């Protein structure tokens, strides 16, 4: 008495490189999920996109080391502050994949391109298949000026959905998941938040956290 379906596809999208404005084709993931029974149907749409995160923890250690070395070399506190503000501080980078799902009752449209932008903006920087050297500089500089942990990216995706879709009802479903592929560890790291949009709005507004997070299976079949 119930039917469910999941569809996954790869989605090519033309992008322009950030400095040289060269056309490049990027591949994204599209996800569609639906569940239906007599008198009831729900669906969710989602995307997955790659990007990169720059680790804030290691960057803080490198910054402290640089500040101590500059102080030992005779630079004043004001000069040190100016230097570290102007020069991107080194850290280790992680290529990452973020996945964002939104489930809406009824026939409300959630454009996939907007979801892709939210996922990419949640990371330290977007990445490109084709990059000239000025574009490489832009991406590396941007990432190191926006260091983020894996959980920061999930928080940013949730905030992006709330900002970009203010008219979505509180009983809409949102799932944000990110996996960072570590470069200095032999393990990878993941973070995830899923549940009702109303609960997430309350959390961001300073309310109490929900004790239990609804799963997408539960939401689809509710």
Which DSSP category does 209 fall into? P
* pLDDT value of position 137: 96
* pLDDT value of position 59: 94
pLDDT in tens, 45-56: 999 999 999 999
The overall pTM is greater than 0.75: yes
* pLDDT value of position 73: 95
* pLDDT value of position 93: 93
* pLDDT value of position 79: 96
Averages of pLDDT over runs of 10 residues in the chain (222 residues) are: 94 94 95 92 94 95 95 96 92 96 84 95 96 96 96 96 94 96 92 95 85 90 84
- What secondary structure does DSSP assign to 67-136, as a single string? HHHHHHTT--HHHHHHHHHHSPPP--EEEEEEEEEEEESTT----HHHHHHHHHHTSSEE--SS--HHHH
The residues with which 99 forms a beta bridge, in sequence order, are 48, 177
pLDDT in tens, 126-150: 999 999 999 999 999 999 999 999 9
* pLDDT value of position 222: 80
User: Would you call 25 helix, strand, or coil by DSSP?
Assistant: strand
Classify domain 3-55+95-221 at the CATH class level.
Answer: alpha beta
Domain boundaries, the chain: 3-55+95-221, 56-91
Nearest-10 Cα torsion for 65, 69, 75, 77: 30
Computed from CA positions of residues 160, 162, 168, 173, in that sequence, does the dihedral angle turn out positive or negative?
A: positive
* pLDDT value of position 155: 95
């Amino acid at each position: 008495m119930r039917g469910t379906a999941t569809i996954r596809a790869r989605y090519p999208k033309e992008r322009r490189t950030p400095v040289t404005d060269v056309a490049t084709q990027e591949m994204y993931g599209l996800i569609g999920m639906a569940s239906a029974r007599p008198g009831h149907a729900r669906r969710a749409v989602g995307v997955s996109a790659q990007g990169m995160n720059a680790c804030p923890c290691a960057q803080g250690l490198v910054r402290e080391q640089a500040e101590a070395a500059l102080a030992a070399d005779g630079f004043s506190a004001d000069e040190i502050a100016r230097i570290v503000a102007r020069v991107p501080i080194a850290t280790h980078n992680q290529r990452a994949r973020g996945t964002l799902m939104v489930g809406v009752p009824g026939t409300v449209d959630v454009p996939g391109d907007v979801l892709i932008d939210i996922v990419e903006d949640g990371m330290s920087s977007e990445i490109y298949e084709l990059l000239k050297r000025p574009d490489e500089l832009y991406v590396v500089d941007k990432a190191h000026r926006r260091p983020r942990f894996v959980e920061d990216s999930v928080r940013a995706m949730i905030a992006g959905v709330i900002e970009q879709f203010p008219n979505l009802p509180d009983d809409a479903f949102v799932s944000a998941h990110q996996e960072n592929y570590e470069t200095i560890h032999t393990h990878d790291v993941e973070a995830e938040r899923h549940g009702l949009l109303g609960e997430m709005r309350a959390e961001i507004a300073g309310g109490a956290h929900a004790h239990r997070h609804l799963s997408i299976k539960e939401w689809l079949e509710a």
